[in-house]
Amino acid sequence: MPTTKERVAVVAGLRTPFLKIATGYRTVPSRTLSSYLVSELVARSGVDATDIEKLVFGQVVMSPDAPNLAREVVMGAGLPVSTDAYSVSRACASSYQSAADIAMNIQGGVISTGIAGGCDVMSQPPISFNKKMTEAMVKMSYHKGSKLAAFKGIKLKDLMPAQPAIKEPSSDLTMGQAAEKMAKENGISREDQDALAHRSHTNASLAWEQGWFADQIMSVIMQPDYQPISKDNIFRSDSVLEKYAKLKPVFDRENGSVTAATSSPLTDGASAVLLMQESKVKALGLTPLGYITSVAFAAIDPNWQMLMGPSFATPKALAQAGMKLSDIDLIDIHEAFAAQVLSNTQAFASKSFAQERLNQQDAIGEVDFDKLNVSGSSISLGHPFAATGTRQLTQMLYDLKRLGKQHGLITACAAGGLGAAMILEAA
């Protein structure tokens, strides 16, 4: 297989507005929202659609009618039918994986141009029934005799669909329960969690007020009234720190500290980036947003502290780039929960954590909060699971450009004890 040491350039990045579950996108399938996005991304990039050789898209909550979302996006966005496409799922790091796959294909000399992204529309989760009802429905479909006989013994309670839930099978914990566990074990205070969430909303509100998202977010025109959706509907421009203290914990109501306000909300949305071999960028006379310097993934025991993946993936990404945390100008740590962000920043600064968990002598480094999530992150912007990684990637490169900085770190935790990290460089 041919290989190349050329850098992977990020030519363009774009996302839809991120919306609360059961609001503006409640009737829009993931494949449709993603197709709108990719079509607009290509149009804005100045790259001919025939140059797109591969599209990789992430999705966490898969639609039964479109199991390979990526291929449906190729068709729906009007890309050439010859464009190769496949879908990936790495929980909340799914679009890290799609971006890594396209980057590796470019560095491997397999392609020169590709699109990576992700989408989740949590408003349309697949609805399941209990085991007894499921078996009856399958039996009805294949039973040669009376269809009604398949439902013998079915009771009224069996007709109720199971409520959608996001639970980690290996640890039997929801993400929120895992965050609560981490808050207790790491001594993360309620006050610090509230302050981080308030800061996220304040930064996101400022970003919208100042127009920092103008080139990063498209308008989505929705039927039947064709009114454009042009803005996230999750961030609070009137966030007041004192109000956070009035909210009750949601995952441990008696002794907990994690509230709805310090958790990322269930969100609908899509994001994507167009990646290209550096020599082709130059040949086409394009100006990229920046470059992917390194990508790293990590896996830890989810029964320990499930959402600590950033503290394991980040040192790997830094080592690949030949850098230290002190070399990084801006950081975006995906805000699944305030407790999870603070647990990871605590670990970053801990020498004992580095020695005991990472088998290295020195701490990863102290996180300067003035460099962290400067235009908001998942608590305030939302978290459509598979779309968060490429949202972070695009947002980071725009923030670096706006502030005249060079190097950025993006990192995320994911279900199953997974973590992802990327080092980015501004053009």
Condensed to tens digits (0 to 9), the pLDDT of residues 267-281 reads 999 999 999 999 999
Distances (CA, A) of 343 to 111, 153, 333, 338, 388: 39, 49, 11, 8, 20
Token pair in block for residue 421: 């990290």
Least confident range of 58-72, 123-137, 394-408:
123-137
Residue 222 burial class via C-beta count within 10 angstroms: exposed 0-12, middle 13-18, buried 19 and up: middle
pLDDT band, very low/low/confident/very high, at 127 (cuts 50, 70, 90): low
pLDDT band, very low/low/confident/very high, at 10 (cuts 50, 70, 90): very high
In a domain, 93, yes or no: yes
In a domain, 186, yes or no: no
Domain count across the chain: 1
Task: Give residue for tokens 């954590």.
Answer: 353
| Inter-residue contact 298 to 416 (CB < 8 Å) | no
Please identify which of the residues 119, 201, 334, 413 carries the catalytic annotation. Answer: 413
Taking 70 as the threshold, does the pLDDT of residue 158 lie above it? no
Distance CA 146, CA 128 (A): 24
Taking 90 as the threshold, does the pLDDT of residue 223 lie above it? no
In this prediction, residue 1 carries a pLDDT of 44
Domain, as residue range, for 287 = 8-125+264-426
Token pair in block for residue 237: 């421009």
Distance CA 97, CA 139 (A): 38
In a domain, 252, yes or no: no
Token pair in block for residue 288: 């990229």
pLDDT band, very low/low/confident/very high, at 136 (cuts 50, 70, 90): low
In a domain, 257, yes or no: no
Strand 113-121 and strand 267-277: pairing?
antiparallel
Task: Assign residue 61 the CATH number of its domain.
Answer: 3.40.47.10
Highest mean pLDDT among 128-142, 144-158, 406-420: 406-420
In this prediction, residue 145 carries a pLDDT of 66
Q: What number is the average pLDDT over the span 255-271?
A: 97
Other CB atoms within a 10 A radius of the CB of residue 372 amount to: 20
Question: 27-50: per-residue pLDDT in tens?
Answer: 999 999 999 999 999 999 999 999
DSSP tag of 159 = G
Taking 90 as the threshold, does the pLDDT of residue 216 lie above it? yes
Strand 19-20 and strand 267-277: pairing?
antiparallel
**What is the average pLDDT score of the chain?**
93
Q: Which amino acid is at 207?
A: A
Please identify which of the residues 92, 119, 198, 201 carries the catalytic annotation. Answer: 92
Which among 416, 410, 381 is positioned nearest to 397, based on CA atoms?
410
In a domain, 169, yes or no: no
Active site residue 198: no
Q: What number is the average pLDDT over the span 107-114?
A: 97
In this prediction, residue 18 carries a pLDDT of 98
State the Cα angle at 43 between 119 and 380, rounded to 5°.
40
In a domain, 70, yes or no: yes
The pTM of this model reads 0.93
Distance CA 150, CA 146 (A): 7
Please identify which of the residues 198, 201, 383, 407 carries the catalytic annotation. Answer: 383
In a domain, 407, yes or no: yes
Token pair in block for residue 340: 């999870």
pLDDT band, very low/low/confident/very high, at 169 (cuts 50, 70, 90): confident
CA 338 centroid distance within chain: 16
In a domain, 333, yes or no: yes
